[in-house]
Amino acid sequence: MHTKRRPLNTDTIFSIVLYTFLILTMLIIIYPLFFIVIASFSDPSAVTGGRVWLAPVGFTLEGYEALFKNSAIWIGYRNTVLYAAAGTLFSLLVNIPAAYTLSRKDLVFRKPLMFFFLITMFFSGGLIPTFLTVKDFGLYNTFWVMVIPFAVSVYNLIVARTFFENSFPADLREAAEIDGCGNIRFFFTMVIPLSKAIIAVLALWSLVGQWNSYFTALIYLRDQGLYPLQLILRNILVSNQMQSAMGTGEAAQIALRTASLIRYAAIIVSTVPVMCVYPFVQKYFNQGVMIGAVKG
C-alpha cells in the first residue's frame, strides 16, 4: 500500500523558512564569539593562515600566561569591579527617582524639564568644556570621576519613565493617597518593589557600560593605579604591537606572536565576567524589555 504524502501547506513552509533563517542568524552571531575563544588557545600562525575553524590548532596558553604576568591586570580588575558596582548603584539612585518624577503628569513644568533632558542627547558642551568642568569640581584623576559625572543616562531615563507611566496609573496613586500614603512612602513601598524588572534592566545596562568604559578613564585619569581593566588591556596591546613593530629578526617575530595571542586572550578576559552575570538577571531583563509593549 502506498501512503499519500500530505502536501506542505503555507504554514509549514513558512515555519521551515523562519527556523532556517533563525538558525543561520544564530550561527552568524555565535560563531565570531566561538572563534575568538578557540583562537585565544591556538597558534597565531594557524589563525592568520586560516586553519582555525572549529577547534584550537597548536593548543597553547601563552597568551593568557603573558597577559596575567602583568600585575596591572589585577589592579585593573579590582578598579573595574569597584567602578562598575559604585557606578551602577549611583546610576540607579539618580535615574530611577528622576524617571518616576517625570512620569507623574501632575509634575509642574514636566514638559520643559523633559525637553531639558532630551536636548542633551543631541547637543553637548564638548570635550574641553566638560574636561574643565570636571577639573573645577575636583574630580579629575579621582575614583569618583568614573562614577558621578556621567551617571545620568537620558535613554535609560526615558525607558524607565515609560515603564512607570504604563505600570502605575493615577488611580492607584489616588487610592493610596486616600489611605494616607504620601508620595515618598508610595515610591518606596509600592513603586520600587513592583519595579524589579526595570531596575534589573537599567542595572545591567549600566554595569555593561561601566565595565566596557575606557574613554572616560583615558581622558580623566592619569594615575595608573586608578586605571580600569579596559584601559590597562589597551595599553598592553599597544605596548606589544609597538615592540613587534620596532623589533627586528627573531625578537620581532616573538613580539608579534605574543601580541596576537594577547589580543584574543584580552577579549576573553574582559567579556567573560559580564557574560557570567547576565544569566542571573535574564528573567528580569526579558520582563523589563517587554513590559508595556502590550496593553490590554
- On whether both 257 and 162 belong to a single domain, the answer is yes
Give tens-digit pLDDT for 45-101. 777 777 777 888 878 787 788 778 777 888 888 899 999 999 999 999 999 999 999
Q: How many residues does the chain have?
A: 296
Residues 139 and 178 in one domain: yes
Q: Does residue 153 share a domain with residue 71?
A: yes
Model confidence over 2-38: pLDDT tens digits?
555 566 567 778 888 889 999 999 888 888 888 888 8
Residues 113, 18 within the same domain: no
Residues 13 and 72 in one domain: no
Asked if residue 237 and residue 149 are part of one domain, the reply reads yes
Q: Cell numbers at residue 95, please? A: 535615574
| pLDDT the model gives residue 250 | 64
pLDDT confidence band for 249 (50 / 70 / 90): low
Please answer whether residues 214 and 236 qualify as being in contact, where contact means their C-beta atoms are separated by less than 8 angstroms: no
pLDDT tens column, 129-142: 899 999 999 999 99
Q: Are residues 93 and 125 in the same domain?
A: yes
The tally of domains found in the chain comes to 2
Kindly list the distances between the CA atom of residue 275 and the CA atoms of 210, 260, 280, in Å, as whole numbers in the listed order.
14, 23, 10
Scan for cell 577547534, then name that residue.
Answer: 55
Q: How far is CA 107 from CA 111, 113, 151, 195, in A?
A: 9, 10, 23, 20
Q: What is the extent of the structural domain holding 216?
A: 61-290
Does residue 1 lie in a domain region?
Answer: no
Task: Answer yes or no: do 129 and 187 share one domain.
Answer: yes
CATH code of the domain containing 145? 1.10.3720.10
- Same domain membership, residue 73 and residue 88: yes
Say what percent of the chain tops pLDDT 90: 13
Query: Is 3 within the bounds of a domain?
Result: no
**Considering the entire predicted model, what is its pTM?**
0.78
